[in-house]
Amino acid sequence: MAIRYPDALAAGTDSEENRMKQFSTLIFFAWVVALVAGCASIGSSNLPPQSDVTGPSVLVESYQLAVGDQLRIDVWKNPELSVAEPVRPDGKIAVPLVGDLEAAGKTPEELSKDITDKLASYIKNPNVTVILTNLAGQEFLSRIRVTGSVAHNMSISYHQGMTILDAVLEAGSVTLYADANDTKLYRRTETGAVTYDIRLKDILENGDMRTNVMLMPGDVITVPERLF
């Protein structure tokens, strides 16, 4: 014989089932929100602007000459005035007919104009080209430094397209006691020094390249040791 429950009891049972369903739905959505927030947190790590990490690009709009840079100065139709000169320690170069000229801190275009203006007193309509043949003066300033808990603390020549992983591998990778996921990238910017968070362990062990950013001249990478 079928058992019939009182209407009030049946209604109470249905109400309880609905509350359980609503509670389960609420828990599910809370879990989804937490998961999305966690993913967003990982994806929005403290990283350089996207324009800095998308790939090789022009690094500076106009290069300023420095001590040690090797120059070739061509004066069109006047080969006797064309010379190859380094920027001396006093920041100057010697140009025939003109004498010493300040070069350090100027762009090749600015130096070319200075030479042209000076030569105009000696030849008609001089056409001067300044070609930078060796950037030795800036090579030291542009080097990448890798310090801390790595096999070899190193100063590495910068190459366009170099990444965090390239520099760390050049330094022999991390040591046994490295706290690699707390690695820091220090960079000089127009507004001052900036620090970025690099999850180096994720890069090396998990192939997670989200923080394997492109380096810029003068960057410093520091890998700390674990605290025991």
Residues of the chain with pLDDT under 70: 1-45, 49-61, 137
**Gap between the Cα atoms of 187 and 195, Å rounded:** 6
**Gap between the Cα atoms of 115 and 94, Å rounded:** 10
Tell me the pTM.
0.56
For the stretch 86-126, pLDDT in tens is 999 999 999 999 999 999 999 999 999 999 999 999 999 99
